Structure 1
Amino acid sequence: MLKCYDCLEENKDTEAVGVCIVCGKGLCMEHIKQVEFPMKGGGYPMPHKNLKKGLPRMLCKECIGTIFEDGFCD
């Protein structure tokens, strides 16, 4: 069974419930975070527009900090 990477660094043995889509670490409920990224629909020849609901993505706290602090995501 996949173990939580962050828990293993803290000398805990916890099963992972998901995987960070950026770095691939296995994460438990304590360390995983769900973030909704805005999505655009349409395309050529149709104009782009924002969809009503973003797509949920699972990330670790480190990757969330990197993405939002370093300006990778508006």
Structure 2
Amino acid sequence: MKCYECAKNGKDTDAVGICIVCGEGVCKDHLKREKIPDWDGEFDIKLKCIGESCKLKDMQPLLKILCMSCHGALVENK
């Protein structure tokens, strides 16, 4: 998978992660990896608890990967 942002700019860069919100592939230069608060939006996912990690308290504070666009929207809506 290639980085979506790089591809838009004519670059061919491998993605190192996938945005947890939009599913966009991102390289190390186009991602934010941090703890994120609950985010109620029009997405089908719940960021406070995902899949099997819901059952494991130790998994809750894991860092999440976001693309720059989704991170910007999250920060803007805090």
Q: TM-score, normalised by structure 1?
A: 0.69
Q: Deviations over 1:3-56 (max 9, x none)?
A: 00000000000010000000100001110110113588xxxxxxxxxx8x8320
1:17 maps to amino acid? V
Higher share of residues assigned strand:
1
1:6 maps to amino acid? E
Runs of 4+ in 1 over 4 A off after TM superposition: none
| Equivalent in the alignment of 1:36 | 35
**Structure 2 unaligned regions, length at least 5:** 39-47, 49-57
1:15 maps to amino acid? D
| Equivalent in the alignment of 2:6 | 7
> In percent, how many aligned pairs have the same letter?
46
1:36–1:20 Cα change, 3 Å: same
List aligned pairs for 1:50-61, cutoff 5 A.
Answer: 54-61=61-68
Q: Which one has the largest radius of gyration?
A: 1
Cα root mean square deviation, aligned: 2.2
d(CA) in 2 for partners of 1:5, 1:33: 14
**Structure 1 unaligned regions, length at least 5:** 41-50
Q: TM-score, normalised by structure 2?
A: 0.66
d(CA) in 1 for partners of 2:7, 2:37: 32
